[in-house]
Structure 1
Amino acid sequence: MKTIIPKTIKDQQVVVPGSKSISHRILICASLCTGISTIENLLESEDIKWTMNALTCFGAQIDRINEGRFRVIGFGGTLKPCEKEIYLGNSGTSMRLLAGIAALGTTEYVLTGDKRMCERPMVELLNALKRLGIHAISPNRQGTPPVRICGGNRQGGTVTLDCSKSSQYLSSLLMMGTFMAKGLDISLESLPVSSPYIDLTLDIMTKFKVEAHRIHPCLYQVPGQQSYSPGDFFVEPDLSNAGYFWALGAITGQMISVKNISQNSLQGDLKQVKILEQMGCTVKFQENEIGVCGSELTGIDVDMSDTPDAVPAIAVVAGFAKGRTRIHNIRHLREKECDRIDAVSSQLLKMGIMVKQGDDFMEITGGAPKGARIETFNDHRIAMAFSMPGLLIPGMEIENETCVEKSFPNYWEIFDAL
């Protein structure tokens, strides 16, 4: 339990660690190379360690040189057998991205995780792999982990995919498709959720000198028989995590800036600053730095399908805004580390804020938030989003505060230094 003590917040700058989304993808692409890559500013979080462990089981050699700096010797698309189950905690990104990589092997791999991970959907990706002639099953017949995957078929070809729950299914196929003899033509059944993460995958693949193309929003093509090229790579800061500090700027009326951030970042959560600007904040763009300062906040209507990780922080800010904020097209939040629509709603209600929720939306009527003991549901984003009001209002307590180690191991160190 962490009790947060209110204090005076002044204009300031903060530095956040490397992006979780980019760290996963760069590690995977580096492991798919033949040769040695170095990665700077890699996030050293719980989820990334699960991905590292799995890639090591597949045959990569990953060595920590010093803080944030790693050397990866790739297996070049030829995976070694692994008889033991590969445990991935509650890292949905690891599970989905690595399922496609496991399909490149010629022996069976079993990917599993904790209780919540074994409730999260995988059936859409498993079905796509089966259509490609790959053995991919969920033994519990629920379409959830653990999953058993055995490749051996690298023909590739045409496949349909449902990305209504996660764009990570597509990212998984894009990264593995380069090794297919015929490449992959991937047709989506509908527009994907969280589409900026697809852009991120395509961009990172380009850095490793392999190609994948968006023909139109529901059709992607990956040329076959390509090889990933090793090199030296840098992981930019995590904009999902930057969002908690921008949210603090919004509710305190102080200019809180996050350093080392490019306005041209492909991370979808850069959109947070535009959302906060619509709510009445001033956004300051400087070279490699973005700051947010709130004034009189007002409610808005916003589609956050592409920025699901930012929803908890924006919802908390909405609790301080005048009028109603409607956050919609977020049904996929119910499949995250917890049911985030229900979790955020329940904790705002504890704080005396009116919330209405539906299958794919939240409506938050701003007011005068009061202190409360926050249940995190073992979800890092709930813990961080609800920590910020504690610097303004007394009585805020965060249960299971160590869950932030999933994505932001030094969060409380930075938070306490504000």
Structure 2
Amino acid sequence: MITERVGLTARIPGSKSCTNRALLLAAAAPGTSRVRAPLVSDDTLTFRDALTALGVRVAATPADECWEITGLGRGPAGGARVWCADAGTAARFLPPFAATGEGEYVFDGSGQLRARPLWPLADALAGLGAEVRTAAGEDALIRVTARGLDGGEIGLDSSLSSQYLSGLLMAAPLMRGPLVVKVHRLVSRPYIDMTLGLMRRFGADVTEGPDGRIEVGTRPYVPADLVVEPDASTASYVFAAAAVTGRTVTVPGLGAGSLQGDLGFVDVLRRTGADVRIGDSGTSVTGTGRFRGGFSVDMGEISDTFMTLAAVAPLADAPITITGIAHARLKESDRISAVAGNLRACGIRAEEGPDWLTVHPGVPLPARIACHRDHRIAMAFSVLGLAAPGTITLDDPGCVGKTFPGFHNEMRRLFPAYELPVPGVRAH
């Protein structure tokens, strides 16, 4: 391992989760809201375009430093066909918003997105009185015939994704009566905390009960001016790179008050021996020259970062087991299987179960990583390539554009030894 201590400041783009939630909440509020420092990526541009298709006006400054949203203050009207591309947040957040309006709304997306389940959301909307179709043979992901929603009390199985719950909660102030949701088997709780925190920033009346109930009143949203903090999931790659190269990397703007649960990834890195400092205005990780294993960690609450740990786990001095990640099989790819398969392609012993993965120490062999069009697989294995130069190439390096179009260039800026993971090509 490299043990040089060099202080580096990473330029991490805005949080996708915060950007898309803020866009929707601004669309639901009357008047003008501003979302500053938004993430500009495939997913957020898809979400922005989808809102435009629903009748929401979004204006951007020339360099996209700020998006100004003229909200409807209600659900959309008139009907529309909405393209969601690969964006799971668009497919799960926008149908409830549409259902509070009037007209027929058809949401469709890529084959990758069509493979991801939507039935929990469809069942919940039907339980609130919406007319929803997702049956086989439909020419869309989901079709909503909207006549407004009355609200009421429903149960929601959130074991596959927390996004269904977030979508319903954000639509709730637009319903005719309060919404009470009894949540069952919730995964990724920090994302719900983010949703509720942002809803309150836009004026929503939200209360939580000790029995897992969340109640949202009908108090209207109000416009807001929001600065999007750096994406904690994306920051995991530069933090892991610091840990395995012995350098110090700081991400400003991502500190103790963060809305994002995925900042908890640095606590996992602390267990590997990294020096972690979380301040009010930023977080720093320093590699200490040793990368420890020999532990098991439940990453169910921060599952978007489990691949980052798994990809660098071969560099540890003992096996690392990651648990609580069953729902990761239903993301952009079957992430457990995809990560295990790529590790084996690198000559690393990896064992998997329904909700766990164990990675054993080893020296990575040259391999071409199958990205499965999944940005997080590409970025995670790029970190392994940094620690083991010349061994890792990607079959789809451009898929990082889903959340971090400038990823390869930023890694090269921070770590001069970084090679663009395409055979024979270096980043510039």
Shift of 1:369: 2.2
Partners in 2 of 1:384 and 1:197 — Cα distance? 21
1:189-222 deviation per Cα after TM superposition (whole angstroms, max 9, x unaligned): x230011000000010111111222213621101
The amino acid that maps onto 1:288 is S
Shift of 1:316: 1.4
Partners in 2 of 1:114 and 1:147 — Cα distance? 13
Q: Does 1:75 align with 2:72?
A: yes
Q: Percentage identity across aligned positions?
A: 34
Partners in 2 of 1:235 and 1:89 — Cα distance? 23
* 2:422 counterpart residue number: none
Following superposition of structure 1 onto structure 2, how do residues 138-177 of structure 1 map, counting pairs within 5 Å?
138-140=134-136, 146-177=141-172
Structure 1's 11 and 217: CA in aligned 2 closer, same or farther, altered over 3 A?
farther
> Which of 8-17 and 151-160 deviates more?
8-17
Higher relative contact order (CA 8 A, sep 6+): 1
1:296-351 deviation per Cα after TM superposition (whole angstroms, max 9, x unaligned): 22222111111111011011121211111111110100110111001111111122
The amino acid that maps onto 2:305 is A
Q: Does 1:329 align with 2:324?
A: yes
Partners in 2 of 1:43 and 1:134 — Cα distance? 32
Partners in 1 of 2:357 and 2:323 — Cα distance? 6
Q: Does 1:125 align with 2:127?
A: no
* 2:203 counterpart residue number: 209
The amino acid that maps onto 1:198 is I
Partners in 2 of 1:378 and 1:195 — Cα distance? 26
* 2:311 counterpart residue number: 316
> Which of 129-138 and 210-219 deviates more?
210-219
Q: Does 1:274 align with 2:279?
A: no
The amino acid that maps onto 1:292 is V
* 2:230 counterpart residue number: 237
Q: Does 1:361 align with 2:356?
A: yes
Structure 1 residue ranges, 4+ long, deviating more than 4 angstroms after superposition: none
Question: Is the 1:191–1:217 Cα contact (8 Å) retained in structure 2?
Answer: no
Aligned to 1:182, what secondary structure does the other structure show?
Answer: coil
* TM superposition score normalised by structure 1: 0.94
1:353-402 deviation per Cα after TM superposition (whole angstroms, max 9, x unaligned): 11001111101112222332111111000111111122232232122111
Residue number among 399, 402, 414 corresponding to 2:398 in the alignment: 402
Shift of 1:49: 1.1
The amino acid that maps onto 2:259 is L
Aligned to 1:201, what secondary structure does the other structure show?
Answer: helix
Residue number among 98, 104, 117 corresponding to 1:102 in the alignment: 98
CA RMSD of aligned residues (A): 1.9
Partners in 2 of 1:51 and 1:254 — Cα distance? 36
* TM superposition score normalised by structure 2: 0.92
Partners in 1 of 2:106 and 2:69 — Cα distance? 23
Unaligned runs of 5+ in 2: 415-428
Partners in 1 of 2:140 and 2:350 — Cα distance? 33
Unaligned runs of 5+ in 1: 1-5
